[in-house]
C-alpha cells in the first residue's frame, strides 16, 4: 500500500480509483511550503494541479516519492529536472483538457471579434451602445496558429468550419502533415505579417518565453487580434499593451498571464481586451478526464509499469507492436543480470524482425530497468535507468536488423561472456526465452529461474531434479538445449520458490555441473 498525497482538488472519480486499488489517500489542500515539505517526506505519490510549487527543495525532502502527477497539461510548477535526477517519474494528463481549451479559444476569438463581454457589461449597466461595439466577421479572415499540437489542431479544425483561412507556425510539423489538416505551414514572421487573428498554443519553455515580443508585434498586420489560452509569459504583456494603445494591434483575448493569479494589469484598462481567469480547462468534462487520467498514470507508475504520459523518460511512447514486448524486455534484462552475476561490463541490444522498424527506445529502458533491478541495490525506474547506466559505467549499444531466422521478432542481449534472446510466440503472443549463450531452448520467463550448464551426458537432469526435490523446491517449467560448439548442455528452469545460496552451491559442486546462475531473491 502506497501513500498518495493530493494537494489540489481533482475529480472524486480519480480519488476513488486510487482508493479502490488499495492505497492510502491523504487529501490536504492549501498547504504552506513548510507543511508541504513535511507531508512529502513519506509520500509515494504526489498529485497536484497548477498551484502547488514542486521545487527542488520539495523533491529533495521526499524520501519515498515515486511519481508526481499533474492533473492537467502544463508542468511549469514542477522542477522536472530535479525529479529526473532523483528518479522520480513526472506524469501529466495531456489529453484531458484539449477539447475544453480549444473551445475556450474559439469562445475568446468570437468574443474578441464581436465585443461580446464589453457590450454585455454595458447593457447590464443600462447602456444601449450598438454602434460603439461594432465587430468584425471571422469568415474569410486569416487565422495564424502558433503551435499546431493537440489543442492547436483542434482549433484549426473548428476554425475551418467558420470559413477561415488557416496558416500555422510549428517547427516540429511537416508541411505535408499540415496540408492534410487544411493548414499552410509558414515561418513565424510570415504568419505575423499575414494573420488577421493569431492564436497561441505552445508549451511554456525557455525557447517560447517572450516569443511574442515587441519586435514580432511590430511585424504584425495592423489591426491584428491576438488570443492566448496556452501559457502566460509567451506573450510580452507590456509590449502587447503598447501595441494595442498605439493602434498596431486591434485587441487581445487572454486566458493566461505571466503571473497568476492576476487581478491587476494595464491590459485590464483597455476596452479592446477580453480576459478570463485561466478557464481553459475549467469544464466538468475536463476535470473528470484529468482526475481519472492522472489516477491511472499514478497507479501504473506505482506498479512499475509502462506509463504512457510520463514526461521525463527518454521514450514515453510505445506503439501497439512495441508495447507487447515491454514485459519480455524487462524479464530478459533480469535474467541477463542473473547470468552475468550482476552488471555486465558492456551491453549490446539487438532488435530483429518487425521490431527493427519501430521506435524501440522504451524497450531499451525496460531492459535496463530489469538489469538494474537485479544487478544493483539502487531503486530503479524508467526515469533513472539511463542515469544509472552512466553512473555504473555500463556501455549500451543498440543495433537493428530485419533478419530473424526462425522468429518474426527477436530481442537479443549480449555481453562479453553471455547472451540471451527472447520473443513472443503463438496466437496469444506469450513470452519465451529462446536462446541462452549458444544453447537453443524455449522456456517462459519467470520470477525465479535457474540456469545450469553441465556436461552433455545422461543423468544430469536427474541430478538437478533430485537436489531441488530434496529441498522441497518445485519445478514449474524446464527446457534443455545442447551446445552447438562444445560437449555441454544447458538447463533453464523456473521454480515455485527462490533458490537459496547454499542450494545453488550444492548444485554447482556436483560432478558434471559446470556453472549455476540464479534469477530471484534468496529466502
How much is the mean pLDDT over the chain?
92
Distance CA 436, CA 17 (A): 42
Band (pLDDT 50/70/90 cuts) for residue 73 is confident
Which bin fits 465, alpha (ψ -120 to 50), beta or left (φ > 0)? alpha
Query: If you average pLDDT over residues 434-456, what whole number do you get?
Result: 91
* DSSP characters over 494-511: EESSPPPHHHHHHHHTST
Query: If you average pLDDT over residues 183-188, what whole number do you get?
Result: 97
Distance CA 353, CA 409 (A): 5
In this structure, are residues 224 and 142 in contact, taking their beta carbons and an 8 Å threshold? no
Q: Which residue has the higher pLDDT, 246 or 345?
A: 246
List of domains in the chain = 3-95+285-303 (3.40.50.720), 98-275 (3.40.50.720), 313-430 (3.30.1330.90), 437-523 (3.30.70.260)
Band (pLDDT 50/70/90 cuts) for residue 523 is very low
For residue 450, count CB atoms less than 10 angstroms from its CB and return exposed for 0-12, middle for 13-18, buried for 19 or more. buried
Distance CA 489, CA 511 (A): 14
Question: Long-range contacts: 389-395, Cβ < 8 Å, 24+?
Answer: 392/343, 394/343, 394/344, 394/345, 394/346, 394/347, 395/345, 395/346, 395/347
Q: Residue 75: which residues within 8 A CB-CB, separation 6 or more?
A: 90, 92, 311
Q: Cα–Cα–Cα angle for 336, 342, 345, nearest 5°?
A: 85
Cell of 162: 467558420
Q: Which residue has the higher pLDDT, 156 or 392?
A: 156
For residue 67, count CB atoms less than 10 angstroms from its CB and return exposed for 0-12, middle for 13-18, buried for 19 or more. buried
Cell of 301: 507508475
Please say if the pLDDT value at position 215 is more than 80: yes
Q: Which helix (H) or strand (E) holds 146?
A: strand 142-146
Query: If you average pLDDT over residues 332-337, what whole number do you get?
Result: 92
Q: Residue 390: which residues within 8 A CB-CB, separation 6 or more?
A: none
Per the document, the length of the chain is: 523
In this structure, are residues 248 and 226 in contact, taking their beta carbons and an 8 Å threshold? no
Please say if the pLDDT value at position 22 is more than 80: yes
User: What pLDDT digit, counting tens, does each position of 121-180 carry?
Assistant: 999 999 999 999 999 999 999 999 999 988 999 999 999 999 999 999 998 888 888 999
For residue 139, count CB atoms less than 10 angstroms from its CB and return exposed for 0-12, middle for 13-18, buried for 19 or more. exposed
- What pTM did the predictor assign? 0.64
User: What pLDDT digit, counting tens, does each position of 231-263 carry?
Assistant: 999 999 999 999 999 999 999 999 999 999 999
pLDDT cut 90: percent of the chain above it: 73
Distance CA 431, CA 215 (A): 58
Strand partners, 422: 411, 433
Q: Which of 138-147, 471-480, 489-498 has the highest mean pLDDT?
A: 138-147
Distance CA 383, CA 399 (A): 22
Q: Please count the other Cβ atoms lying within 10 Å of the Cβ belonging to residue 199.
A: 28
Query: If you average pLDDT over residues 445-451, what whole number do you get?
Result: 91
Band (pLDDT 50/70/90 cuts) for residue 317 is low
Q: How far, rounded to the nearest angstrom, does the alpha carbon of residue 99 sit from its chain's CA centroid?
A: 20
Q: What is the pLDDT of residue 447?
A: 87
Cell of 273: 481586451
Distance CA 242, CA 273 (A): 13
Active-site annotation, residues:
231, 260, 278
Query: If you average pLDDT over residues 22-37, what whole number do you get?
Result: 96
User: What pLDDT digit, counting tens, does each position of 255-304 carry?
Assistant: 999 999 999 999 999 999 999 999 998 999 998 999 999 999 999 999 87
Please say if the pLDDT value at position 397 is more than 80: yes
Cell of 377: 541495490
In this structure, are residues 144 and 194 in contact, taking their beta carbons and an 8 Å threshold? yes
Band (pLDDT 50/70/90 cuts) for residue 9 is very high
Amino acid at each position: 500500500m502506497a501513500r498518495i498525497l493530493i494537494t489540489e482538488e481533482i475529480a472524486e472519480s480519480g480519488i476513488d480509483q486510487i482508493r479502490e486499488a488499495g492505497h492510502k489517500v491523504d487529501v490536504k489542500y492549501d498547504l504552506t511550503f513548510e507543511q508541504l515539505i513535511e507531508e512529502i517526506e513519506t509520500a509515494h505519490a504526489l498529485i497536484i494541479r497548477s498551484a502547488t510549487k514542486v521545487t527542488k527543495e520539495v523533491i529533495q525532502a521526499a524520501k519515498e516519492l515515486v511519481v508526481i502527477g499533474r492533473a492537467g497539461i502544463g508542468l511549469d510548477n514542477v522542477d522536472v529536472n530535479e525529479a529526473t535526477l532523483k528518479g522520480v517519474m513526472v506524469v501529466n494528463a495531456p489529453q484531458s483538457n484539449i477539447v475544453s481549451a480549444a473551445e475556450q479559444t474559439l469562445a475568446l476569438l468570437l468574443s474578441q471579434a464581436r465585443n461580446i463581454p464589453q457590450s454585455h457589461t454595458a447593457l447590464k449597466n443600462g447602456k444601449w451602445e450598438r454602434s460603439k461595439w461594432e465587430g468584425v466577421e471571422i469568415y474569410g479572415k486569416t487565422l495564424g496558429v502558433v503551435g499546431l499540437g493537440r489543442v492547436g489542431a483542434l482549433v484549426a479544425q473548428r476554425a475551418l468550419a467558420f470559413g477561415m483561412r488557416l496558416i500555422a507556425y510549428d517547427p516540429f510539423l511537416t508541411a505535408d502533415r499540415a496540408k492534410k489538416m487544411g493548414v499552410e505551414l509558414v515561418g513565424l514572421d510570415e504568419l505575423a505579417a499575414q494573420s488577421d487573428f493569431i492564436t497561441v498554443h505552445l508549451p511554456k519553455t525557455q525557447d517560447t518565453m517572450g516569443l511574442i515580443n515587441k519586435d514580432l508585434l511590430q511585424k504584425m498586420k495592423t489591426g491584428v487580434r491576438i488570443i492566448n489560452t496556452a501559457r502566460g509569459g509567451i506573450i510580452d504583456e507590456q509590449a502587447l499593451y503598447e501595441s494595442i494603445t498605439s493602434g498596431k494591434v486591434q485587441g487581445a483575448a487572454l486566458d493566461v498571464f505571466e503571473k497568476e493569479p492576476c487581478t491587476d494589469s494595464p491590459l485590464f484598462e483597455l476596452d479592446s481586451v477580453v480576459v478570463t481567469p485561466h478557464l481553459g480547462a475549467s469544464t466538468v468534462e475536463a476535470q473528470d478526464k484529468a482526475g481519472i487520467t492522472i489516477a491511472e498514470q499514478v497507479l501504473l507508475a506505482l506498479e512499475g509499469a509502462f506509463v504512457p504520459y510520463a514526461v521525463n523518460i527518454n521514450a514515453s511512447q510505445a506503439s501497439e507492436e512495441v508495447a507487447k514486448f515491454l514485459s519480455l524486455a524487462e524479464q530478459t534484462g533480469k535474467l541477463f543480470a542473473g547470468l552475468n552475476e550482476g552488471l555486465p561490463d558492456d551491453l549490446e541490444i539487438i532488435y530483429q524482425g518487425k521490431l527493427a522498424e519501430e521506435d524501440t527506445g522504451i524497450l531499451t529502458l525496460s531492459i535496463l530497468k530489469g538489469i538494474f533491478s537485479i544487478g544493483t541495490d539502487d531503486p530503479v525506474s524508467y526515469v533513472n535507468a539511463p542515469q544509472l547506466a552512466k553512473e555504473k559505467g555500463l556501455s549500451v549499444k543498440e543495433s537493428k536488423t530485419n533478419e530473424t531466422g526462425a522468429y518474426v521478432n527477436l530481442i537479443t542481449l549480449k555481453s562479453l561472456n553471455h547472451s540471451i534472446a527472447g520473443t513472443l510466440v503463438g496466437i496469444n503472443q506469450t513470452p519465451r526465452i529462446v536462446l541462452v549463450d549458444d544453447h537453443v531452448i524455449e522456456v517462459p520467463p519467470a520470477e525465479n529461474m535457474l540456469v545450469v550448464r553441465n556436461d552433455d551426458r545422461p543423468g544430469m537432469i536427474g541430478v538437478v531434479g533430485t537436489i531441488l526435490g530434496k529441498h522441497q523446491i518445485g519445478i514449474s517449467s524446464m527446457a534443455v538445449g545442447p551446445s552447438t560448439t562444445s560437449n555441454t548442455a544447458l538447463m533453464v528452469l523456473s521454480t515455485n520458490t527462490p533458490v537459496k545460496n547454499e542450494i545453488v552451491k550444492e548444485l554447482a559442486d556436483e560432478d558434471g555441473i559446470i556453472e549455476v546462475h540464479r534469477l530471484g531473491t534468496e529466502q
